[in-house]
A and B are shown apart, each in its own frame.
Chain A
Amino acid sequence: MSYLDNNFRVKIGLAEMLKGGVIMDVTNAEQAAIAEKAGACAVMALERVPSDIRRDGGVARMSAISKIREIMATVSIPVMAKCRIGHFVEANVLEALEVDYIDESEVLTPADEEFHIDKRGYKVPFVCGCRNLGEALRRIAEGAAMIRTKGEAGSGNIVEAVRHMRTVVREMKQLTVLGHEELVAAAKNLQAPLELVEYVHEHGKLPVPNFSAGGVATPADAALCRLLGAEAVFVGSGIYKSSDPEKRAKAIVKACTNYNDAKAVLEASEELGDAMPGLEISKIPEGELLQTRGW
């Protein structure tokens, strides 16, 4: 199975190293330096943080190359960058730039409304978003070496991240109790390859690390994601749209490590200033939801 070849092991290997950590969205070198200083285990370069994309509208694309270079020159931790769904030339460019991970992301405006990038042929690893197990397994089949549940980026509302993580975890549990004869039908229902369905049936987990994203605004949000099954957390607008980004970034890193210790999360939650303003999901027009992008 190609999922275990050395190229794929090395891709998953970096995701293993990021576990337990916080990956922070940054738009420039200054923000990247703040993230690294706070203890981020990686940074994600993007043009605008999701809440600004939501506010300003327009087409959101891969970040300017000069910005990504500047970020790569500033920090010693891994640098990820986003490309549009299906935009394999943006991915080629990011690989040529030697970023450490590519996020084929629903936060940017999709370039292809039918197909994602065939990620198997790349040497650089990819992370992709999902809302359920079928979507996760389709992305892994295409070559993603890390999965993150989507949540609703830029909303400051954790409810969708919770829904998506609970859904993936529940659907994995369900597969583990099926009989072997039920797996082909399960694969049909999940719209996912049988061999990956068989993997989850046997191991009760994805063959790649499973992280959480979209809506994390507080240390308690980060700890909640970890307790629901996320092995690490992505934070975007939640940090730079709060009143004191530096402090909040540190607090989220602290809570993500000691997520299981309420006293530690309490300590991380003190004297933080104001969180980013949140959006109620039902108030977001359906056409403006980011999580429904991806096929």
Chain B
Amino acid sequence: MRVGVLALQGDFEAHMKALKRVGAEPVEVRTAAELDTVRGLIIPGGESTTMLKLMGYYELFEPLRAFGGQRPVFGTCAGAILIASEVLNPSQASLNLVDLTVERNGYGRQLDSRVVSVTQYGLGGDPEVEVVLIRAPIVRRTGGQVLASYLDSPILVDYGRHMAATFHPELTDDTRVHKLFLSKVN
């Protein structure tokens, strides 16, 4: 199963490895032609403003929107910001693939980045999941099904076709979140 990882900027390599661990065939995607060859796409963590610029430079914005209209997309951290319907602090353009309002750097600066353990609903197995938050956005509103929350804000949301996480499952050994995404791609 060929699953793409948007490789404009950010921790796309960590997602490539995570996809390999769950038995998918990961593909780095930097062009619209590469996007055409995959059945699902992960937009990784990184800097959302940088990725947004690069989507403009390489004319990827519309192809990504069209892809999301047909195939599953999973956004983590900056990726969640990019697929959201509304972005705050500051307001910026987004792909509008899911019903989600996020506030950038909602937990603070790097000194507020943290690793925590939270209760999850719907991933199966261990009720706890380890969560790495790096200058993470905070979810202010969502129309999707919340699979995990931290300090009363959703951090993992299932939208049926798409998924959004404000944390980094790719930076842990836990493969459940990537497995869930893979089940959507299949």
Contact = CB atoms under 8 A, between A and B. Distances in A.
Interface of A: 6, 9-10, 13-14, 16-21, 36-42, 76-78, 95, 98-101, 123-125, 250, 253-254, 257-258, 261, 264
Interface in B38-75: 45-47, 49-50, 53-54, 57-58
Given A20-B46, A36-B49, A76-B89, A254 B54 contact: yes
A124 B112 CA distance: 10
B140 interface: no
Given A16-B14, A41-B47, A78-B135, 18 more contacts: A13-B168, A13-B171, A14-B135, A16-B10, A17-B10, A17-B77, A17-B134, A18-B46, A18-B47, A20-B10, A21-B46, A21-B50, A39-B49, A76-B105, A250-B53, A250-B57, A253-B53, A257-B30
Contacts, number: 112
B86 interface: no
Nearest to B92: A76
A16 B50 contact: no
Interface in B109-132: 109-111, 113-115, 132
Provide the main secondary structure of the chain B interface: loop
A10 B114 contact: yes
B53 A17 contact: no
A100 B47 contact: no
> Which 4 residue pairs across A and B have the least CB separation, nearest first?
A39-B53, A100-B110, A6-B115, A16-B11
Given A40-B50, A253-B50, A21 B9 contact: yes
Contacts of A40: 50
Nearest to B89: A76
Interface of B: 7-14, 30, 45-47, 49-50, 53-54, 57-58, 77-78, 89-90, 104-105, 109-111, 113-115, 132, 134-135, 168, 171
9 contacts: A13-B171, A14-B110, A17-B47, A17-B134, A18-B46, A21-B10, A36-B49, A100-B110, A254-B54
Given A76-B90, A253-B53, A19 B13 contact: yes
A19 B11 contact: yes
A37 B47 CA distance: 12
B171 A77 contact: no
A181 B46 CA distance: 40
A213 to B, nearest CB: 17
A258 B29 CA distance: 11
Contacts of B113: 10, 13-14
Given A13-B168, A14-B110, A20-B8, A42 B46 contact: no
Nearest to A39: B53
Contacts of A6: 114-115
A39 B92 CA distance: 14
A13 B9 contact: no
Contacts of B135: 14, 17, 78, 100
B53 to A, nearest CB: 3
Most chain B CB within a 10 A radius of its CB, from A13, A36, A38, A78: A13
A91 to B, nearest CB: 13
Contact of B104 (A17, A76, A123, A124): A76
Contact of B109 (A98, A253, A261): A98
A38 B113 CA distance: 26
B59 to A, nearest CB: 12
Contacts of A125: 110
A41 B9 contact: yes
A254 B50 CA distance: 10
A73 to B, nearest CB: 12
B52 to A, nearest CB: 8
Nearest to B132: A13
A10 B50 contact: no
Contacts of A20: 7-10, 12, 46
A76 B104 CA distance: 8
B128 to A, nearest CB: 15
A125 B110 CA distance: 8
Contact of B45 (A16, A78, A101, A258): A16
A238 B14 CA distance: 30
Nearest to A72: B109
Contacts of B11: 16-17, 19
